Structure 1
Amino acid sequence: MMLLSFSSRLAILIACAVVVAVRAETHTVTFTNKCGRGTPLLKQNGVTLSTGGAFTSNGPLKAAIAYLDVGCGANGENCLIIETSLVNPTTAGSGSSTDLSLIPPHAFSVTSGFGYFNGCDGAGADCTDGGCNTAFHQPGDTNVQVSCQADNANLAITFCD
């Protein structure tokens, strides 16, 4: 049996750490509020992750919602929400998905939009009124989902643009 020196073991450990660091999954959500009112919120399972500052998830960000709080309910009720899951794809079609929702109790509040960056640049959607065809109005409107199959894709959310 061959024994490795301390320096050889250290070099192997550092190489493994670099490989793990390079493969680490991260996603950032940013906000731009041009409305002059309200507070941008990013929530997951009822927990507020951001009140307008950039939020970085070290790993997948699943089942999060974002909205501009202009008198909305605790989970965006009475406001237009952006629903997102930012996930590195492990199989074809299993990556990130984001959409706008006006399914009651959600309702149009302010012009809202999103776009991916650092992967799938240019893919996104905007909703400028309560009748926009880019948002869910009922659960079957799955054609409005915008997917991204890139690793570590980020999301920019804008209000009143």
Structure 2
Amino acid sequence: MSSFLKLIALVAAAFVVGAQAESHTVTFQNSCGKGVPTLKANGVTLSTGGAYTSNGPLEAAIAYLDVGCGANGEGCTTIETTLVNPTSPGSGSSTDISLIPPHAFSVTSGFGYYNGCDGAGADCTNANCPTAFKVPTDTHVQVACQVDNVDLVITFCD
């Protein structure tokens, strides 16, 4: 009977660990009628339009609508994101829009969190966009989310 109880405890522990596993989904909404939504991290293409789910943190990812951009979104508006469950106050997810050269305004772009921090996000509709990084010190434009397993929708031409 004790080995049976050990098995039940092991299965229960595995279920709890599995239920608490970190995951984040990035989805795209492209209303431009052109271009390819692209999501990359560390130079690797993770998605070209379909939803992407990370099994764990998604760190230092960039997204852009490829309308003739460079390999890492050069010449285009980029969305930069790190989606990670917070381990201490202020250590969770952060997303922003970047127009720091060599990036430049290409199409109306935006993002919003969902499944946590709903309503938090930003949009950029022109090259003078006040919600975008234009120089590396524009840190006030970052939008944080301190919720576990938050997801992100990235929009183009909305």
Aligned to 2:116: 119
Distance 1:136 1:12 in 2: 50
User: Does the residue aligned with 1:106 lie in a helix, a strand or coil?
Assistant: coil
Worse overlay, 60-69 or 13-22: 13-22
5+ residue gaps, structure 1, are none
Q: Deviations over 1:121-153 (max 9, x none)?
A: 000000000000000000010000000000000
The reply to whether residue 101 of structure 1 matches residue 98 of structure 2 is: yes
| 1:10 to partner: Cα distance | 1.2
User: Does the residue aligned with 1:115 lie in a helix, a strand or coil?
Assistant: strand
The reply to whether residue 68 of structure 1 matches residue 65 of structure 2 is: yes
Distance 2:30 2:3 in 1: 54
| 1:103 to partner: Cα distance | 0.2
Distance 1:98 1:144 in 2: 9
User: Does the residue aligned with 2:28 lie in a helix, a strand or coil?
Assistant: strand
| 1:5 to partner: Cα distance | 2.7
2:108 is aligned with what amino acid?
A: T
| 1:22 to partner: Cα distance | 1.7
Identity %: 73
Aligned to 1:153: 150
Distance 1:14 1:6 in 2: 12
The reply to whether residue 83 of structure 1 matches residue 85 of structure 2 is: no
| 1:32 aligned to which of 29, 32, 37 | 29
Aligned to 1:55: 52
Distance 1:127 1:84 in 2: 15
5+ residue gaps, structure 2, are none
Distance 2:4 2:27 in 1: 43
The reply to whether residue 44 of structure 1 matches residue 36 of structure 2 is: no
Distance 2:15 2:78 in 1: 38
User: Does the residue aligned with 1:49 lie in a helix, a strand or coil?
Assistant: strand
**TM-score of the pair, normalised by structure 1:** 0.97
1:115 is aligned with what amino acid?
A: G
Runs of 4+ in 1 over 6 A off after TM superposition: none
The structure with the larger Rg is 1
User: Does the residue aligned with 1:42 lie in a helix, a strand or coil?
Assistant: strand
CA RMSD of superposed structures (Å): 0.7
**TM-score of the pair, normalised by structure 2:** 0.99
| 2:14 aligned to which of 9, 14, 17 | 17
Equivalences, count? 158
